[in-house]
Amino acid sequence: MPALKPLPTHAVNPSAERGERVDLSSREQEILIAWLKADTKAAVGETLFLADSTVRTYVQRIREKYERAGRPARSKAALLARAIQDGYISVDDL
């Protein structure tokens, strides 16, 4: 079995190491939490009286904020992990 090579310096994530919290607006937080608890974005839209496209836009903005912070959240599970890390939601809230 070949030895593992160390990651290149650019692959190290300084933001995650420092634990920088991504700053979400209160509306972004509301939509994120609703989406993490729901099965679909459409369900969030119905609950919050928003178009599906509006929910998608908010979720995309939230993902972009995490990406800019060097803490990508490309899946719902990854976004849940980031939200827990940043204190926006706890496992007990789900």
Determine the 3-state secondary structure of 49 from DSSP: coil
Read off the pLDDT of residues 9-23 as tens digits, 9 standing for 90 and up.
344 444 445 558 999
In what helix (H) or strand (E) does residue 44 lie, and over which residues does it extend?
A: helix 41-48
Contact 64, 81 (CB under 8 A): no
Contact 21, 86 (CB under 8 A): yes
Read off the pLDDT of residues 44-53 as tens digits, 9 standing for 90 and up.
999 999 999 9
Q: 86 falls in which pLDDT band (50, 70, 90)?
A: very high
Report whether CATH 1.10.10.10 matches the domain 22-93. yes
pLDDT at 1 over 50: yes
Q: How many CB atoms lie within 10 A of CB 53?
A: 10
Residue spans per domain, the chain: 22-93
